[in-house]
Chains A and B, each alone.
Chain A
Amino acid sequence: MTHDSDGIRVPALARVEGEGGIEIVVSDGQVTQARLDIYEPPRFFEALLRGRRYTEPPDITARICGICPIAYQMSSCQAIEDACGATVTEPVKALRRLIYCGEWIESHALHVYMLHAPDFLGYESGIHLARDHPEIVARGLRLKKAGNRLMEVVGGRSVHPVNVKVGGFYRAPAAADLRALLPALEQARQDAADTVAWAGTFTFPDFERDYEFVSLRAPDEYPITQGRLVSSRGLDIAPAEYDSHFTEFQVKHSTALHSVLDGRTYLTGPMARYSLNSDRLPADIAAAARAAGLGGTCANPFRSIVVRAVELMYACDEAVRLIRGYQPPDPPSADVTPRAATGYGWSEAPRGMLYHRYTITADGTITDAKIVPPTSQNQRAIEEDLKDFAAPRLSMPHEQLTWECEQAVRSYDPCISCSTHFLDLRVRQT
């Protein structure tokens, strides 16, 4: 960290997916602005999709993010199927939910153990944590591996899976191959339960927020692949209504669009999912959440590590349930015939709701694409939280303030890969 006449600058923000940063502007002892700075055009892929075949979005959009390719594949498939008026079978839906569980497991395990827990335990990084507590990090990596392996078996590989297509899958995995995953997933479920209890022992800053939470909500399940979009202030819509309520707009300091819900700042992601759907959790997982200090809702971003641990437990539980009940979809995919229409799709990526919209012609050419990743949606909430978080801490030494602000940002698990790359962190005093 170096000091100069403009205030304080520090290198790139550590331990967020991709690279990102924050600028806090302080004037006359008051925080006047907190900004999440994003430089890379996030709309590259939307432009790339125009003119491509309607079957291509799952493969193309999976490359947006190496951590959550399944989310992009599932939201894009559902949007294209909606445009084409196609429906998929229940076994295909179940297999989609299963591979999505793999992504939740690997993504949440990575964040909880390698990116977030070091903040609470006083370590600079997951590597430093591993030096003193190798058994803890080994548990996290074991969890992550279980998720990656599930993605490999269902998706063909864990990074940019190749088995997902519009309408379903190219090939249904063999039941025996899925059953072979059960021992590792049952171990993962125990590891996840231990993770919930462990995360519940951390000390959290008192920082409750008055969020408008936004997440999917489904009748009989904790939301992953489907549902209506609801909010804690009364929103309840179908995918086609999204653009009537959510507005994206540019801000000067970022090339990733900001998003508001009927003009209001909102939050999507694990805290929103949990707060709007904790009644959908199985009783034993809900009990583990309570034992770890969570109520029915969670509005303290620092406590989101416990929520992710609870979702880890749920994803492991779901994966085991889905494999035990697995019926290979036959055929593995539905026929999807193009027609001139616009289609809408969404799903719950590990970091929150991911919306896709495609307009296609009768011959199946994409003429318009819109992709709204969760980190873009959360930018405003992150900035508002950071402003309020930093304000009472301005008397801290700069290094400590910077460190605490970095921790605050990491609580949201921002996936800058999805919204953009390459940011810097700075606290600027004017």
Chain B
Amino acid sequence: MTLVIGIGNPDRGDDAAGLAVARRVRVAAARRDVTVTELVGDQLALLDAWDGVKDVYVIDAVCSGGAPGTVYTFDAAQPLEARFRHRGTHTFSLADVIELGRALGRLPARLAGYGIEGAAFELGAGLSPEVEAAVDAVACRLLAELKAGV
């Protein structure tokens, strides 16, 4: 089984990028052994979300000063680069949770994913146009990978 997890805050503009990717993948994923979930808020819950699953994709928003809509990839076989350690209201970044999972022996056998550079994170805002486009692009890439069984 492959698990796709979109994380973010639906009320904070581009922070919802990961959630938007998850929704597109859920609609389009043809394989029955693909489960899609959305995680809002406390990212420590990732440790429970992927517990017992060997193949996991995570999609998150990134705020690292890059051009809005830029897509980054990661593979948790290595510590994540600094851009995935952005600070947010979740206290623990994706990079933090992955390192905590590594320390506790609670990482999936394969954990990879995408980051999407956001433009704005204001309360109550929607996705910016650049991030909307990136969400579509990441969803397409992810669906292709799932179809190919990468």
Contact = CB atoms under 8 A, between A and B. Distances in A.
Contact of B41 (A15, A115, A160): A160
Given A12-B87, A421-B89, A131 B103 contact: yes
A67 B92 CA distance: 12
30 contacts: A15-B91, A17-B91, A19-B88, A44-B123, A63-B11, A66-B40, A66-B41, A66-B42, A67-B42, A110-B44, A114-B44, A114-B91, A114-B92, A125-B96, A127-B96, A130-B103, A131-B103, A134-B103, A137-B100, A137-B104, A144-B44, A145-B48, A158-B41, A158-B45, A159-B40, A159-B41, A159-B42, A160-B40, A160-B41, A421-B89
A353 B150 CA distance: 51
Contacts of A48: 124
Contacts of A126: 100
Contacts of A66: 9, 40-42, 89-90
Which 6 pairs, one residue from A and one from B, show the smallest C-beta to C-beta distance? A159-B41, A66-B41, A130-B103, A131-B103, A417-B89, A127-B99
A217 B94 CA distance: 40
Contacts of B47: 141
A200 to B, nearest CB: 25
A415 to B, nearest CB: 10
Contacts of B44: 110, 114, 141, 144
Given A66-B42, A134-B105, A127 B100 contact: yes
A412 to B, nearest CB: 15
Nearest to A148: B45
A364 interface: no
B104 A130 contact: yes
A138 B42 contact: no
Nearest to B43: A66
Contacts of B87: 12, 19
Nearest to A126: B100
A144 B100 CA distance: 15
Interface string B76-92: 00000000000111111
A134 B41 contact: no
A126 to B, nearest CB: 7
Contacts of A148: 42, 45
A21 B48 CA distance: 31
Contacts of B11: 63
Interface string B97-108: 001100111000
B129 to A, nearest CB: 24
A18 interface: yes
Interface string B34-66: 000000111011011000000000000000000
Nearest to A131: B103
